[in-house]
A = this chain, B = another copy of it.
Amino acid sequence: MPGFDVGFVIFPQLTLLDFAGPFEVLSRLGTPPSVSVPSRLPQTRVHVAARTMAPVMSDRGLAVLPTCTFEDCPPLDLICVPGGGGVAEALGNPETVEFVRRQAAGATYVCSVCMGAFLLGAAGLLQGRKAATHWAYVDLLPLVGATHAHGRVVQDGRIYTSGGVTAGIDFGFRILADLAGAEVAQAVQLGIEYDPAPPFDAGHPAKASEAAIALMVQRNAGAHAEIRRRLEGRAP
């Protein structure tokens, strides 16, 4: 296989871990399954694309540098859109939505983490599809023609959407396995010691307290309302 280009779309007020999780996993796509077997994807390149080359500030105050602009990003084999509160503003930016649409047209894998699903949706990519997003936003999926499906990672054809924030790590391993095989995914899993042991089991509304759910619904209310407004206001 010739070169394989993976690209992440970044924008102001994204959630760092939505992006950093799958970035860390997918940047290891060139890993071979063992010392004695060559990699299937030795020529993997990872791009981080933004509107300009200026630093992009995350919703928690960490700035990262793009590696290319939307204009000079090469054609991508895999495009991944992370989420965060900044999705609301990004939905109102035609360059960002158009970049997703244009790159997705030629990509083999079209992916999102968390609320990044709504950028895929605004680009028309989730029409008639099953999809996942952050649990506090699943009720908005019909606004982009999608049906919510249960699952931390949901595949519908070449579209892979995932749940909130940390689901991007599981998504990364799913893609790694699809592309390079289970042995490669398992070697990378060992390499980054992904043997999760959360001190609590409260990471999903089905397992969380009512107080925690109420707090997080309240904290997401502003972004939820703004994403709804943007999606309802789109040209049909």
A-side interface residues toward B, CB under 8 Å?
15-17, 20-21, 23-24, 27-28, 31-36, 46, 48, 55, 60-65, 67, 114, 134-135, 152, 163-167, 169-170, 173-174, 177, 182-183, 185-187, 189-205, 207-209, 211-216, 218-219
In the docked arrangement, what's the CA distance between A70 and B200, Å?
34
* A216 pairs with B196, CB closer than 8 A: no
Q: Which residues of B contact A193 (CB under 8 A)?
A: 114, 134-135, 163-167, 203-204
* A173 pairs with B196, CB closer than 8 A: no
In the docked arrangement, what's the CA distance between A134 and B61, Å?
28
In the docked arrangement, what's the CA distance between A196 and B168, Å?
10
- A214 to chain B minimum Cβ distance, whole angstroms, is 5
Given contacts A62-B64, A198-B170, contact A204 B190 (CB under 8 A): yes
* B214 pairs with A34, CB closer than 8 A: yes
Specify which of B48, B190, B202 is in contact with A212 (CB 8 Å cutoff).
B190
Q: Can you add 6 more A-B contacts, CB < 8 Å, to A134-B193, A166-B196, A190-B202? A: A17-B24, A35-B218, A165-B194, A167-B195, A195-B207, A196-B203
In the docked arrangement, what's the CA distance between A64 and B215, Å?
31
Specify which of B16, B152, B169, B212 is in contact with A187 (CB 8 Å cutoff).
B212
- A3 to chain B minimum Cβ distance, whole angstroms, is 15
In the docked arrangement, what's the CA distance between A213 and B215, Å?
43
Q: Which residues of B contact A28 (CB under 8 A)?
A: 60
- A18 to chain B minimum Cβ distance, whole angstroms, is 9
In the docked arrangement, what's the CA distance between A219 and B211, Å?
45
In the docked arrangement, what's the CA distance between A55 and B174, Å?
31
* A200 pairs with B185, CB closer than 8 A: yes
A212's nearest neighbour on chain B, judged by CB, is B187
* A55 pairs with B62, CB closer than 8 A: no
